[in-house]
Amino acid sequence: MQDVSVDVVTIGAGGGAYPAAFRLARSGRQVVMTDPKGVMSGNCLAEGCVPSKAVREVAQLYRRVRGGARMGLHGQLSAEYSGALAHKSWVQELRYRQHAEELEALEPRLRLITGVARLVDSHTALVEGPQGSWRISARSVIVASGSDITVPKLPGAELCITSRDLFALTPQVRSVPDTLLVIGAGYIGLEAAGILQTFGAQVEVLEMEDQILPGMDPDFAALLAANLDPQITVRLGSKVRSVEATPEGRRVTYLRDGKVNTAEAQQVLLAVGRHPVLPTGLAEAGVEVEAGRPRVNHSLQTSVPHIYAPGDVNGRSMLFHSAVRQSLVAADCIAAGDRAVDHFDFGAVPTTIFTFPEAAYVGLLRGEAHLRGIPVEEAAYSFEEDSRAQILGEMSGELRLFFAPGSLRLLGGWVVGVDAAQLIGEIGTAVAAGLTAHQLARFPDQHPMAQEGVGKAARRLV
Ligand code: ADP
């Protein structure tokens, strides 16, 4: 057992951990990160956002070129899934190399120990890994152990594939099934459905709730549902009861409208969500856990002020960019001697569903405003009138902004359609900065880009 004493130890080296580790090491502190992966970036780069978007981007290019006959694009076009996977792995490896160089530049002030960490008290972590064991004492602790794929207690769950099997560095699934059933119409299920359908699979999605994207704004979800590629069949109100193996693949039994139905496919993708992963020893460290998550304040402090829990582990906003900002908030507070000097705004995190078309939102939307009795004034812009959407020939969907009546301060917005993932960044910045419709209306948004919709929508109110 090696004994190490540092200023800060992180449990995990993903988006919730390494931004803080780097900021604190750069400001002269001794920092140790721990992660069984032995590399930084957590599940995002290992099997999540980056690899899935690399494959998705190939699918997007293919769709655009395939639909380009009116633009004079002809010829023998085919989409090789193996090529898309090779591209994905190239991006992953490139980023791992860059991260390794970034880490090397800060060693030995910042170190990454490969292994699983557990807490034995509020200042001490024990790490077991292939290179041995460590006892790490630290003044402050960052618990950023992230999340994992939820596998429900469903007979036959082990017969299903998951997003890990699609997007890991060495994915289990290397070819596109002819037919695919997706369990769950959340963002992971819908994104995978869109990608694999583009590469040739016939896809059906089963969702037990009565809307896609359960938990998200119902009108936003309905708008995406109306604009989704109709080649993907989505069955709502369909609760899967079991999965069985057949000679050809899989049979899924599900309950819909009180009736038992079956559906068959070569493969079944289980995409029912992700859940926080907690390290052992939170109780020994005195950290309070509620509903399987460490409770945190807006400075990401747990019930023990020098122990922080940024990122997926707190279950409040399970997105990589959210984890990064939460991590930096924790770093600021640690640098200030564990005082709550910085805060995270859980209400203004842009979220994108990378379907075809993309759908994205940020801040307060119609449904939550109604539920909380908050009046909002809406301004919409249809992509039918948008020059970029017309240039791309992708004119479905809309951009919609929600303002506080009177002040016309921007509270939130959604975009379903062209460039939604990019647009929501600008809208989110405006929400975070508290900009008003008057200010948005006076900004010269670029032409001929879809950003024009932001100013145009705002000008409808002023
Ligand atoms: P986030 O974006 O919130 O940081 P991720 O899930 O991407 O979340 O990353 C969390 C990382 O934490 C993963 O790489 C995982 O391997 C690591 N991890 C989980 N449990 C432990 C543990 N007990 N000790 C060290 N690392 C852990």
**CATH number of domain containing 178:** 3.50.50.60
Domain-terminating residue out of 272, 300, 331: 272
Residue 37 beta carbon below 6 angstroms from any ligand 1 atom? yes
In contact, 3 and 299? CB cutoff 8 Å: no
Between the CA of 270 and the centroid of ligand 1 the distance, in Å, is: 21
Q: How many CA atoms lie within 13 A of 172 on its CB side?
A: 10
384 neighbors 401 (Cβ within 8 angstroms):
no
Residues paired with residue 307 on neighbouring β-strands, in sequence order? 141
Instruction: Please indicate, yes or no, whether residues 78 and 179 belong to a single structural domain of this protein.
Output: no
Whether 352 is in a domain gets the answer: no
Query: How many A from CA of 289 to the centre of ligand 1?
Result: 17
- Mark whether 121 and 214 lie in a shared domain: no
pLDDT value, residue 199? 97
Same domain, 144 and 176: no
b/e sequence 181-202, b meaning 16+ C-beta within 10 Å: bbbbbbbbbbbbbbbbbbbebb
Residue 69 reports pLDDT greater than 90: no
Q: What is the mean pLDDT of residues 442-458?
A: 97
CA distances from 134 to 24, 32, 137 (A): 21, 11, 10
My answer on whether 10 and 106 are in the same domain is yes
Write the CB contacts of 158 (distance below 8 Å, at least 6 apart in sequence). none
Distance CA 277, CA 207 (A): 25
**Residue 76 confidence class, pLDDT cut points 50, 70, 90:** confident
Look up the CATH number of the domain holding residue 375. 3.30.390.30
- Is 219 domain-assigned? yes
Instruction: Answer whether 35 contacts ligand 1 (Cβ < 6 A).
Output: yes
The arithmetic mean of pLDDT across residues 332-357, rounded, is 97
Binding site membership of 34 for ligand 1 (Cβ less than 6 Å)? yes
Indicate whether 117 and 214 sit together in one domain: no
**Mind listing the pLDDT tens digit for each residue in 118-163?**
999 999 999 999 999 999 999 999 999 999 999 999 999 999 999 9
Say if strands 179-183 and 202-206 run parallel, antiparallel, or are unpaired. Answer: parallel
The answer to whether the CB of 103 falls within 8 A of the CB of 120 is no
| pTM exceeds 0.95 for this model | yes
In a domain, 267, yes or no: yes
Distance 23 CA to ligand 1 centre (A): 19
The atom of ligand 1 lying closest to the CA of 41 is: 7
Residue 300 lies in a domain: yes
Whether 288 and 342 share a structural domain: yes
- The verdict on the CB of residue 144 being under 6 Å from ligand 1 is yes
Q: What is the mean pLDDT of residues 325-343?
A: 98
Tell me, yes or no, whether 12 and 53 share the same domain. yes
437 Cβ below 6 A of ligand 1: no
CA of 35 to the centre of ligand 1 (A): 6
Kindly give the distance from the C-alpha atom of residue 42 to the centroid of ligand 1, in angstroms, as a whole number.
Answer: 6
pLDDT of residue 363: 98
> Does residue 143 sit in the same domain as residue 281?
yes
Task: Quote the tokens at residue 425.
Answer: 């960044």
Share of the chain above pLDDT 90, in %: 98
| Band of residue 75 on the pLDDT scale cut at 50, 70, 90 | confident
Q: Say if 392 falls within a structural domain.
A: yes
- The secondary structure of residue 180, as a DSSP letter, is E
CB 145 near ligand 1, within 6 Å: yes
Q: Give the number of domains in the chain.
A: 3
Q: Find the farthest-apart pair of alpha carbons in the chain and give their distance in angstroms, rounded.
A: 68
Q: Where do the H-state alpha helices sit in 157-208? A: 163-167, 187-198
Range of the domain at 228: 157-272
> Is 317 in the same domain as 370?
no
Q: What is the mean pLDDT of the chain?
A: 97
The secondary structure of residue 104, as a DSSP letter, is H
Ligand 1 centroid to Cα of residue 74, in Å, is 46
Given the CA of residue 17, which atom of ligand 1 is nearest to it? Answer: 4
351 lies in some domain: no
Among 187, 215, 197, 202, smallest CA distance to 358 is for 187
Mean pLDDT on 349-355: 98
Between the CA of 380 and the centroid of ligand 1 the distance, in Å, is 40
Structure tokens at 447: 């032409």
Residue 376 lies in a domain: yes
| Torsional sign, CA 426, 431, 432, 436 | positive
Residue nearest to atom 19 of ligand 1 (CA): 145
In this structure, are 195 and 313 located in the same domain?
no
Domain identity same for 303 and 197: no
Q: Does residue 202 lie in a domain region?
A: yes
How far, in Å, CA of 3 to CA of 260, rounded? 59
Assess whether the C-beta atom of 116 lies below 6 angstroms from ligand 1. yes
Residue 313 sits in the same domain as residue 245:
no
Residue 96 has pLDDT above 90, yes or no: yes
Residue 72 to residue 342: CA distance in whole angstroms: 54
Nearest-atom number in ligand 1 for the CA of 48 is 7
In the listed set 346, 368, 397, which residue is the last one of a domain according to the structure? 346
pLDDT at 67: 87
C-beta of 294 in contact with ligand 1 (< 6 A): no
Q: Which of the listed residues 227, 247, 272 is the one where a domain comes to its end? A: 272
Reply yes or no on whether the pLDDT at 68 is more than 90.
no
Give me the mean pLDDT over the 92-121 stretch.
98
